[in-house]
Structure 1
């Protein structure tokens, strides 16, 4: 779902061709968020069929035609719905979560807090699982190295999410 959000989000700023969408996402967010052609072009066709996009063909002498995609009002509504929809399964996916955080400027503080709390719940559950596994697998050296790494990574993200919660609460109350 995060790929759909990124694709539509790129078109909020104005019309773009497929390669430009793909390039802008990677430049802005890095290789973890890379959108390959097998994902991008079927999504663009699907959005066009839904009425979320319009496609215009740009002709160029001696070059292949370029397809330029424009976001419609329906597309903006779909984008907003996708950003706001954050079920538990999405909260368990770090990329889904990070894309929502990157778009917090488009969301009201109550929804920002809901997203942050859902992710914090997932991280708390992950922390407990890692600690349980830690006790069971204490004899396997490299397994333990991975578990220690995952615990440290989860603790770091938990601290960051808690910091974001405090920042959103402070902004919402006007104390920052």
Structure 2
């Protein structure tokens, strides 16, 4: 997941490690951060794999060396490969984060890749809404004890179902929008 993010960010232009860490930390949401211990070994692997290149330059204040990362042609191919990779239901929050990362970088992939991603995510969200609805029906029918807990659980499921329904509608609208637009992806 973070490989996709790093390659996607470098599709926008070169960046130094601190900037990548800052953007990623702000992208994953409140309460989640990416540590230097996760990011810098990933960057080293991407350099070693030939997907990004590293250059160093002297920083003016403090005289420290700053590492600048840039995507290579092999990295662009790897990025496209990751964008084409089907979304998997690895966990609701992780899948949603991967989908968001992919959407941020849609302008760097062809229209058919965007459409496939949206369709895959739509199927996952619809499946989740069905699961929640089915579980909600089961609880309403079986009425497990304690009643107070069941009632509160039903409220939580109602929230999840409504949020899911809103997400389904949004993805359907986005899919329609992408299908109707010209493919502006640079070959």
Instruction: Please identify, of 58-67 and 8-17, the stretch whose mean Cα deviation from structure 2 is larger.
Output: 58-67
Instruction: Determine whether 1:31 maps to 2:13.
Output: no
Q: Which residue of 1 aligns with 2:47?
A: 48
The SS at the match of 1:41 is: helix
Root-mean-square deviation (CA, aligned residues, Å) is 2.5
Contact kept? 2:139, 2:154, Cα under 8 Å: yes
List gaps (5 residues or longer) in structure 1.
Answer: none
Q: Taking structure 1 as the reference length, what is the TM-score of the superposition?
A: 0.83
Aligned length: 171
Distance verdict in 2 for CA 1:150–1:62, change over 3 Å: same
The SS at the match of 1:158 is: helix
Distance 2:10 2:166 in 1: 33
The SS at the match of 2:56 is: strand
Instruction: Determine whether 1:16 maps to 2:26.
Output: no
List gaps (5 residues or longer) in structure 2.
Answer: 141-146
1:19-168 paired onto structure 2 within 5 Å:
19-27=18-26, 29=27, 31=29, 34-60=33-59, 62-89=62-89, 93-138=95-140, 139=147, 140-168=150-178
Contact kept? 2:89, 2:124, Cα under 8 Å: no
Contact kept? 2:11, 2:108, Cα under 8 Å: no
Deviation above 6 Å: which 4+ runs of structure 1?
none
